[in-house]
Amino acid sequence: MSLARREFVAGLSAAALAGASSAIRAAGEPSLAERARRKGLFYGCSVANQLDKDPAYAAAVAREAGLLVAEFQNQWQYLGRKPDGATDFSAGEVVARFAAAHGQLLRGHALIWFTRLGDPFKQAASRAEAERALVAHVREMCTHYAGRMQSWDVVNEPLDPFDGGPDGLRARGDALTEKLGPDYMDIAFHTAREADPKAILVLNEAGIENDAERHERQRRNLIGLIDRLQDRRVPVDAIGLQSHLRTGRQSSSGAGYGAFVPAKFERFVSEITARGLRIIVTELDVFDGGSPGDVAARDREVAAMYADYLAIILKPKQTLGVVTWGLSDRYSWITGGTVDRFKRADKLPSRPLPLDADLRPTPCYAALAAAFDAAPSR
Ligand code: XIL
């Protein structure tokens, strides 16, 4: 990042943080949802299972988010079962009802994900049985939520940069490719389109934003996969870029995460839009493990990462909106302590999201607000 940009963000952080703090209290100030909406974009966040347990947090979600996505409640493996064996949608419905009550859009995550497959698929003994299980699941989810989902992540994280699977697809230990080969994507997207013709159908992918060997391979494999899916007329409407970013520069070879290089990323984005696809930023957050412990310095680097990333991704008209993976550091997979790679060496709690653990806006709130304000209208 250039020095000028760093200073801009630093200045913005201090001033806008004060503004944003009062913004969240002052009735007249626009929320993130409103700032995005003014440009024809949306801003939303994922929510786990705290909406009906933490009123202060729920109020912040109601105010700031224009779209909600259930973080895990709609995943195949986690769907509840009623005594008669029927699917229990109640956990996901808490989120859907909250969104409806607050005039928020709703998006679905994720119909097919190799790591969250349901038993009927995992236990399928033949190709025909696996296909039947996949079709039944996608059809049931899409039918249940039809007319309510703005978009669905139909397939989540299909690619693996080093597996050498067909089309760059994940192969080792992936029941999807083992049982159905690359066709599982065609089946999932066609079934989703049929069951809910209005939802935007998204292919969602991770680990693709940085200048690292594994990310470069993901980018090339994704573009190749898009071309093959489009040749076969598979109804993919949008690419979801998860956008789990991190501060600092890590090794760019092997499993390293590299660093964010705006020009390189912008070229990749233009390869997607040139194929007539739209883009959704589906899971944005910034792990601050590469930044110093000092909170002000750390927040500046996180906010700068948000600013640099959003400046690129909000430029094309094909970008529909931004979802952060959580709203507050109070509830985040990064701060939750269950994922080893998100532990800071100094053991300090991370600060990845627009509101801190006390629901106060952080400098990255200000960066998001400024990015929406600066985005071209669509
Ligand atoms: C994380 C969630 O935050 C957790 O609640 C979940 O148990 C594990 O995964 N890519 C995805 C998300 O598509 O579903 C992941 O979310 C983060 C990485």
Q: What is the pLDDT of residues 39-57, one digit of tens each?
A: 999 999 999 999 999 999 9
Q: What's the whole-number average pLDDT of the chain?
A: 93
Six-digit token string for 29: 């100030």
Six-digit token string for 246: 């991190």
* pLDDT tens readout for residues 64-109: 999 999 999 999 999 999 999 999 999 999 999 999 999 999 999 9
pLDDT value of residue 133? 98
Beta strands in the chain (DSSP E): 42-47, 67-70, 80-81, 87-88, 105-108, 112-113, 151-156, 200-205, 238-241, 244-246, 278-287, 319-324
* pLDDT tens readout for residues 207-243: 999 999 999 999 999 999 999 999 999 999 999 999 9
165-169, 303-307, 351-355, 357-361: lowest mean pLDDT where? Answer: 165-169
> Is 90 exceeded by the pLDDT of residue 356?
yes
pLDDT value of residue 27? 58
Handedness of CA 137, 72, 94, 103 (dihedral sign): negative
Instruction: Looking at the CA of residue 113, tell me the nearest atom of ligand 1.
Output: 13
> Is 60 exceeded by the pLDDT of residue 13?
no
Distances in whole angstroms, Cα of residue 167 to Cα of each of 5, 159, 281: 39, 8, 23
Distance 296 CA to ligand 1 centre (A): 28
> Is 70 exceeded by the pLDDT of residue 358?
yes
Best residue among 333, 334, 353 to mutate for probing ligand 1, ranked by most atoms within 8 Å of CB: 333
For the whole prediction, is pTM greater than 0.75?
Answer: yes
Distance 27 CA to ligand 1 centre (A): 33
Report the DSSP beta bridge partners of residue 238: 202, 278
Q: For ligand 1, atom 1, which residue shows the shortest CA distance?
A: 333
Distance 231 CA to ligand 1 centre (A): 31
Distance 332 CA to ligand 1 centre (A): 9
